[in-house]
Structure 1
Amino acid sequence: MKIFSKEQIYKGDRLTVERQNISSTDLMERAGIQIFNWIHQHMQGAQVPIHIFCGIGNNGGDGLVLARHLILDGYNVKTYIVNYSDKRSKDFLINYDRIKQVTKDWPTLLKEGDEFPEIREKDIIVDAIFGIGLNRPIQRWVLLLFKHLDASRAFTLSVDIPSGLQTNKVPESDLCVVKANYTLSFVNPKLVFFLPDTAKFTDQWEVLDIGFDNTYIFETETEANVIGKNEVIPLYIPRNRFSHKGHFGHALIVGGSYGKIGAVILASKAALATGAGLVSSYVPKCGYIPLQSSFPEAMVITDNNEMEITNISYNFEPTVIGIGIGMGTSENTIDAFSKYLETNKKPLVVDADGLNILSKSLDLMSYLPKGSVLTPHPKELERLIGTWDDDFDKIDKVKAFSKKYKVVVVIKGAHTITVYENKLYINATGNPGMATAGSGDVLTGIITGLVAQGYEPLIAAVFGVYLHGKSGDIASEDYGYENLIASHIISYLGEGFLDLFKRPETTQQQEQEENK
């Protein structure tokens, strides 16, 4: 799913109006009706008081369309105009006149110094005050209104975006944004719904189709895309029935140190469970027995050192190397890692201590093959790119880093974002139970296993992050969040793959009904 910028949405509005030979007021009517349909589907005529707060721009116009349809359908509606300016948009004024034609209870004008309406906890608030076009500081009395709405603890539904939140900027204060329980977003979700600094302003969101021009949606390139099942299915490479293990590559996992061999076991198992034809593990001698006894499918090569990696040498040609997990950062290991990078030409997936070593000597980045995948958690990322002011600054710095070194960077988090040069791929799977030891090692193994099979590194990263999250989601249904451990994610990788081609239950039920 594409995430359009504010400017692209405005352009899409104009082209939709032109190509469909409708007015902007007609498009606003569509938007308001879609919100009405959503509310009506969930409320079914219940007479809970609905307080609709409308700004004086197009977001407020959407709110007025909604209010009119709710009134016509017999709902208990109270509409307010938040009069923060003397200017009104044309479509707002048209819908202001229309609502006065269907009710004697005209919208209440709220201005500075007015007492705010009483709202009970069991009421419903619809926030249609500011949309994506907000470009000015919010007046203090409007901020006090936000505080009043929040203090009511009533269910709050925001239209398109929580008021006060901008599409490309972190607010100066949490008090500057309406806190929504649910946001109904037009055309596509907004990038701010996925970033740690701004996702907190809406608990849930849903996209409403308002009939945007399909050609524009299809042809327009966006900086950011949300990756769900529909986006991943075309990436999947099916297997030939006559294939053998040699067709699916040889993954090498390099890492481990005394007390941290488990990281290599997890990554190696994940690489094989993702479909790599062969997996070899390169570890210090202390890892030989743990690997051979717990993971018999792997081939094990050991360093001459008992406790740590001091030299990386083998007599075969791997397809891809996953490196860094549990490796440590001793002087001997840093030296071995550095020398290995100077001679290696194979694709790399670098994690954990591999990243920490790179961050200490960024000159080593020049030895990474183009398209190498880096999978840092937040602190590892900070060591690589430096500190950042907010999430947008972080993304800008990661894009610059990716472009400079021609690498794929996987920013791990609640919505893991894969970055390659100027493109962002935002993952839609995963859950809080995956915030557990070893989960990142499993992801490294998954991506390495996909590259081994012939997936391009960027595709492997995007697909791997999705599969990692989906397998964790399915596992959490059996184990819950607290009981979920990294090994469970590996065990459910098969379910993750199978889910790609599982039809929705509603579709199956419909077909069964039709066949009766």
Structure 2
Amino acid sequence: MKIFSKEQIYEGDKLTAERQNITSTDLMERAGTQIFNWMHMRMQGAQVPIHVFCGIGNNGGDGLVIARHLITHGYNVKTYVVNCSDKRSKDFLINYDRIKNVTKNWPTLLSCTEDFPEMHHDDIIVDAVFGIGLNRPIDDWVKALFMHFRATKAFTLAIDIPSGLSTDKVPESEDAVVWAGYTLSFASAKLVFFLPETAKYTVQWEVLDIGLDQEFLYTTTTKVDLIGKHEVLPMYIPREKFSHKGHFGHALIIGGSYGKIGAVTLASRAVLSAGAGLISVFIPKCGYNVIQTSFPEAMVITDTDNENITKIAFDIEPTVIGFGVGIGTSPKTISAFEAFLKQNKAPLVIDADGINILAKKKTLLKLLPDQTILTPHPKELERLIGKWKDDFDKLKKVKSFSKKYKLIVVAKGANTITVLQDKLYVNTTGNPGLATAGSGDVLTGIITGLISQGYAPLTAAIFGVYLHGKSADIAIEDFGYQSLIASHVIDYLGEAYIDLFKQPEQPAQKEEEAPNE
């Protein structure tokens, strides 16, 4: 799914009106009607008090359309206009007149804290105050209104975006933003729904189709894509009947140190489970018996040193190399890594201490092959690119880093974001169970295993992150968040692959009663 910028959404609205020969008021009617339909399908006429709060711009106009349809369908509705400026949009004014024609209870004008209505926990709040065009600080009394929403603990439905939240920056105060239980977003989701500092402002979200021009939707290139099953299924490369292990590459994992051979075991197991044909590991001598007994499918090459990797030498020609899991950052290991990079020709996936070595000695970054994949967790990322002010500043720094060194960065988190130059790929799978030791090693192995089979590095990163998260999503059905461990993610990778081809379950249809005899 594409995530459009606010400028692209404005352009889409304009093109839709021109190409479909409709007015902006017609498009607003369409959007508001879609939201009403969404509510009506779920509420089925229930007489829960609904409080619709409308701003005085186009988002407020959407709110007035919703309120009008709710009123004409017999719902218990109270409508309010948050009178925060003297400027009103044309479409707001048109819909303000329309709602006055269907009810004697005209919208209540709010202009100070004394006007706040009484609301209860069982009520519903519809937030249509501000949209994506908000470009100024909000008044203190409006901030107090948003805090009032939150204090009621009523279910809050935000229209397009929670009011006060921008599409491209982190709010200065969390009290100046509506905290929504659900957001119905037009055209596409918003990037802020997936960032650590701003995701909290909506518990759930859904995109509504309001009939924007199809050519615009299909041909417009975005700088952010949202990755789900629909996006990764075309990436999948099926296997031919007469293929053999040689067709799926020979991956090499280089890593481990005394006490950290388990990281190599996890990564190399994930390589094969992701589909690589062959797996070798290069480890210190101390790990030889561990790997040979715990993972017999792996071939083992050892360093001459017992505890650390001090010289990287092997007589195979790997298709891809995963480097860094459990390897440590001893001076001899750093020297071995530098010597290795100077003669390496194979694609690389670098994780953990491999990233920490790069952060310690940034001159090594220039030795990495183009589109080398780095998979840092937040602290490792900070060591690479420096501290950031907020999530948007972090993404700006990652994009700059990616462009400078021609690398792919997999910035791990609740919604892992894969970055190549100016393009972001936001993953939608995964859960808090992945906050466990070794899950990053498994991700490194999955991505390495995909490259081994012939997937391009960017595709392998995007697809690998998806599979990693999907495997964990399936595994928690059996283990829950707390008991999920990294090995489970490997064990359920097959289920994640199978899930790609599962059709959504259709709701069971009620059997018709037999006719009377």
Length-normalised TM-score, structure 1? 0.98
CA distance in 1, matches of 2:276, 2:150: 51
Deviations 1:350-395 (A, max 9, x none): 0000000000111101110101000000000000000000000000
Matched residue, 1:496: 496
Q: SS where residue 233 of structure 1 aligns?
A: helix
Q: SS where residue 157 of structure 2 aligns?
A: strand
Q: C-alpha displacement at 1:38, in angstroms?
A: 1.1
**Identical aligned pairs, as a percentage?**
70
CA distance in 1, matches of 2:150, 2:103: 28
User: Structure 1 residues 271, 18: CA separation in 2 closer, same or farther (over 3 Å shift)?
Assistant: same
Matched residue, 2:321: 321
Contact 2:374 2:409 in 1 (8 A): yes
Q: C-alpha displacement at 1:76, in angstroms?
A: 0.2
Q: Residue 343 in 1 paired to residue 336 in 2?
A: no
CA distance in 2, matches of 1:146, 1:57: 17
Q: SS where residue 271 of structure 2 aligns?
A: helix
| AA matched with 1:321 | I
CA distance in 1, matches of 2:260, 2:113: 64
Matched residue, 2:177: 177
CA distance in 2, matches of 1:486, 1:38: 39
Q: Residue 251 in 1 paired to residue 251 in 2?
A: yes
Matched residue, 2:261: 261
| AA matched with 1:448 | T
Q: SS where residue 252 of structure 1 aligns?
A: strand
Q: Which moved more, 1:329-338 or 1:105-114?
A: 105-114
CA distance in 2, matches of 1:114, 1:476: 48
Q: Residue 332 in 1 paired to residue 332 in 2?
A: yes
Q: C-alpha displacement at 1:112, in angstroms?
A: 2.7
Deviations 1:5-57 (A, max 9, x none): 00000000000001111111111111111111111122111101000000000
Q: Residue 158 in 1 paired to residue 158 in 2?
A: yes
| AA matched with 2:426 | I
Q: Residue 70 in 1 paired to residue 70 in 2?
A: yes
Q: Residue 23 in 1 paired to residue 23 in 2?
A: yes
| AA matched with 1:436 | T
Q: SS where residue 301 of structure 1 aligns?
A: strand
Deviations 1:166-206 (A, max 9, x none): 00010001111011111000110000000001101111101
Stretches (4+) displaced over 6 A? none
Matched residue, 2:219: 219
Contact 2:250 2:452 in 1 (8 A): yes
Matched residue, 2:515: none
| AA matched with 1:363 | T
CA distance in 2, matches of 1:254, 1:113: 63
Structure-to-structure mapping, 1:406-445, within 5 angstroms:
406-445=406-445
Matched residue, 1:234: 234
Q: SS where residue 477 of structure 2 aligns?
A: helix
Unaligned 5+ residue runs, structure 1? none
| AA matched with 1:197 | E
Q: C-alpha displacement at 1:113, in angstroms?
A: 5.2
Deviations 1:49-79 (A, max 9, x none): 0000000000000000000000011100000
Q: SS where residue 505 of structure 1 aligns?
A: coil
Length-normalised TM-score, structure 2? 0.98
CA distance in 2, matches of 1:283, 1:187: 50
| AA matched with 1:303 | D
Unaligned 5+ residue runs, structure 2? 513-517
Q: Residue 370 in 1 paired to residue 367 in 2?
A: no
CA distance in 1, matches of 2:352, 2:320: 17
Matched residue, 1:277: 277
Deviations 1:200-230 (A, max 9, x none): 1111101100001110010000000000000
| AA matched with 1:232 | V
Matched residue, 2:384: 384
Q: SS where residue 80 of structure 1 aligns?
A: strand
Q: C-alpha displacement at 1:115, in angstroms?
A: 2.6
CA distance in 2, matches of 1:316, 1:307: 23
Matched residue, 2:59: 59
Q: Which moved more, 1:253-262 or 1:110-119?
A: 110-119
Q: C-alpha displacement at 1:149, in angstroms?
A: 1.0
CA distance in 2, matches of 1:332, 1:395: 33
Q: SS where residue 482 of structure 2 aligns?
A: coil
Deviations 1:320-374 (A, max 9, x none): 0000000000111111111111110110000000000000111101110101000
Q: Residue 478 in 1 paired to residue 478 in 2?
A: yes
CA distance in 1, matches of 2:434, 2:114: 48
| AA matched with 1:256 | G
Matched residue, 2:452: 452
Matched residue, 2:103: 103
CA distance in 2, matches of 1:173, 1:97: 35
Q: SS where residue 158 of structure 1 aligns?
A: strand
Deviations 1:114-157 (A, max 9, x none): 33100011111000000000001101111111111111111111
CA distance in 2, matches of 1:116, 1:173: 21
| AA matched with 1:276 | A
Q: SS where residue 258 of structure 2 aligns?
A: coil
CA distance in 1, matches of 2:421, 2:414: 21
| AA matched with 1:304 | T
